Amino acid sequence: RAGKLDPHLVLDQLRCNGVLEGIRICRQGFPNRIVFQEFRQRYEILTPNAIPKGFMDGKQACERMIRALELDPNLYRIGQSKIFFRAGVLAHLEEERDLKITDIIIFFQAVCRGYLARKAFAKKQQQLSALKVLQRNCAAYLKLRHWQWWRVFTKVKPLLQVTRQEEELQAKDEELVKVKEKQSKVEGELEEMERKHQQLLEEKNILAEQLQAETELFAEAEEMRARLAAKKQELEEILHDLESRVEEEEERNQVLQNEKKKMQSHVQDLEEQLDEEEGARQKLQLEKVTAEAKIKKMEEEILLLEDQNSKFLKEKKLMEDRIAECTSQLSEEEEKAKNLAKLRNKQEMVITDLE
């Protein structure tokens, strides 16, 4: 029937097609991978206090985040530029990230709604206060509009207003003088602040240029360290190859030495037979000459092999010296890189303080 599945049949089909085996292999390995920068950007929200302020290497930052997330060490591996996860780990982190973002958005919405509600309530309170003031003033006006003294007051008040305006004008003039003096003082302080601000900007630019130069030096040191490491690996491979060849030549030399001993023993036997069998002396003498020629040839080959062995040992010693030199340079470059990183962090902190 359409839409009806037999679980056992489906499992058999998946097993025959190799899907289950592929899933098993995938789960045993680390199929998911993500670079340090992307991992830090996406999941730093899950560990807000794990990474301190300021510059930090991407690998170190990711290691701190992993420890803060309390992940099982069997679920991930940290490489040179990426983090590798088993199947399902990144999906779990994405779910936690979505939940965290949802909580943040809900909290933000609650804060916004509370602010809008308080603002609307304050506006209503202000409207109620204004309405009460209007009602009180209207009631007072209705009581006073037919009172004779109120009419006299309304006629005399404009005359009093002229004298009051002159006094207010004089007070305004005095206040204007004070404001001008204060303005002059503020302008002087503002010029001083602008001068200091310009000086700080110049210092900031100088420090930024120094930081850029230190960053470039740090990048060059990292590149040099990588090249030295690659060169060291190459020299170690060459040394291993030379050691293998030296072992082969030593084995071959041992075989030739054994053959030489056998031939010498054979020559000795022939000499004994020559003493016993005078009649076959010419034949044995010929065999002796032939054997001696072979021995001489083998001795020459042994000398040649010993010479090659000596050359290989010299090359091995030279390679070991070069590896030691590269290792020393690599250590110096790593120390320089650490010092440059510390100096760059210090300058970034200074720039941050200046800002």
DSSP 292-325: HHHHHHHHHHHHHHHHHHHHHHHHHHHHHHHHHH
Q: Please state which of the ranges 61-65, 236-240, 327-331, 339-343 shows the lowest mean pLDDT.
A: 236-240
Residue 235 has pLDDT above 80, yes or no: no
Structure tokens of 348?
A: 């970034």
Residue 1 has pLDDT above 60, yes or no: no
The more confident residue out of 128 and 24 is: 128
* Highest mean pLDDT, choosing among 26-40, 83-97, 261-275: 83-97
Report the SS3 class of residue 51: coil
Residue 190 lies in a domain: yes
The predicted pLDDT at position 99 comes to: 93
Q: What is the pLDDT of residues 2-15, one digit of tens each?
A: 667 777 777 777 66
Report the SS3 class of residue 213: helix
Orientation of helix 281-354 relative to helix 148-276, angle to 10° = 170
Residue 109 has pLDDT above 90, yes or no: yes
Residue 110 lies in a domain: no
How many whole angstroms separate alpha carbon 148 and alpha carbon 130? 29
What does 81-94 look like in DSSP terms, one character per residue?
Answer: SEEEE-TTHHHHHH
How many whole angstroms separate alpha carbon 108 and alpha carbon 114? 10
The more confident residue out of 80 and 278 is: 80
Q: Are 70 and 131 within one domain? A: no
The mean pLDDT of 197-201, rounded to a whole number, is 80
Structure tokens of 235?
A: 């020299």
- Residue bearing tokens 């730093």: 44
Report the amino acid identity of residue 59: K
What does 31-86 look like in DSSP terms, one character per residue?
Answer: -EEEEHHHHHHHHGGG-TTTS-SS---HHHHHHHHHHHHT--GGGEEE-SSEEEE-
**pTM, entire model:** 0.36
Q: Are 11 and 76 within one domain? A: yes
- Judged on CB neighbours under 10 Å (0-12, 13-18, 19+), 80 is exposed
Residue 320 lies in a domain: no
Q: Are 251 and 175 within one domain? A: yes
Q: Are 141 and 77 within one domain? A: no
The mean pLDDT of 227-234, rounded to a whole number, is 75
Q: Are 195 and 206 within one domain? A: yes
The predicted pLDDT at position 161 comes to: 62
Residue 98 has pLDDT above 90, yes or no: yes
The predicted pLDDT at position 211 comes to: 75
For 254, the domain range is 160-262
The predicted pLDDT at position 93 comes to: 92
**Where among 64, 87, 110 does a domain terminate?**
87
Residue 44: name the closest of 23, 24, 58 by CA: 58
Strands 76-78 and 82-85 come out as antiparallel
How many whole angstroms separate alpha carbon 91 and alpha carbon 84? 13
**Where among 240, 262, 284 does a domain terminate?**
262
Residue 25 has pLDDT above 70, yes or no: no
- The pLDDT confidence band at residue 28, using thresholds 50, 70 and 90, is low
The more confident residue out of 29 and 111 is: 111
The more confident residue out of 299 and 23 is: 299
Distances (CA, A) of 252 to 150, 236, 307, 339: 135, 24, 13, 52
How many whole angstroms separate alpha carbon 213 and alpha carbon 350? 16
- Residue bearing tokens 């940290």: 78
Cβ-proximal residues to 79 (8 Å cutoff; 6+ apart), any chain:
33
| Angular region, 78: left φ>0, alpha ψ -120 to 50, beta rest | beta
Residue 20 has pLDDT above 70, yes or no: no
The predicted pLDDT at position 131 comes to: 93
Residue 202 lies in a domain: yes
Q: Are 149 and 168 within one domain? A: no
The predicted pLDDT at position 105 comes to: 93
**Where among 87, 115, 150 does a domain terminate?**
87
Q: Are 181 and 221 within one domain? A: yes
The predicted pLDDT at position 180 comes to: 85
The more confident residue out of 352 and 331 is: 331
Residue 328 lies in a domain: no
CATH of the domain at 23: 3.30.70.1590
- Residue bearing tokens 């740090």: 218
Domain total in the chain: 3
The mean pLDDT of 196-203, rounded to a whole number, is 80
* Mean pLDDT for the chain overall: 81
Orientation of helix 19-28 relative to helix 7-16, angle to 10° = 70
The predicted pLDDT at position 123 comes to: 94
Q: What is the pLDDT of residues 131-181, one digit of tens each?
A: 999 999 888 888 877 777 777 777 777 666 666 677 777 788 888 888 888
The mean pLDDT of 195-212, rounded to a whole number, is 78
Residue 221: name the closest of 333, 90, 79, 341 by CA: 333
Residue 267 lies in a domain: no
* Highest mean pLDDT, choosing among 113-117, 242-246, 286-290, 310-314: 113-117
Q: What is the dihedral of CA 97, 103, 107, 113, to 10 degrees?
A: 110
The predicted pLDDT at position 253 comes to: 74
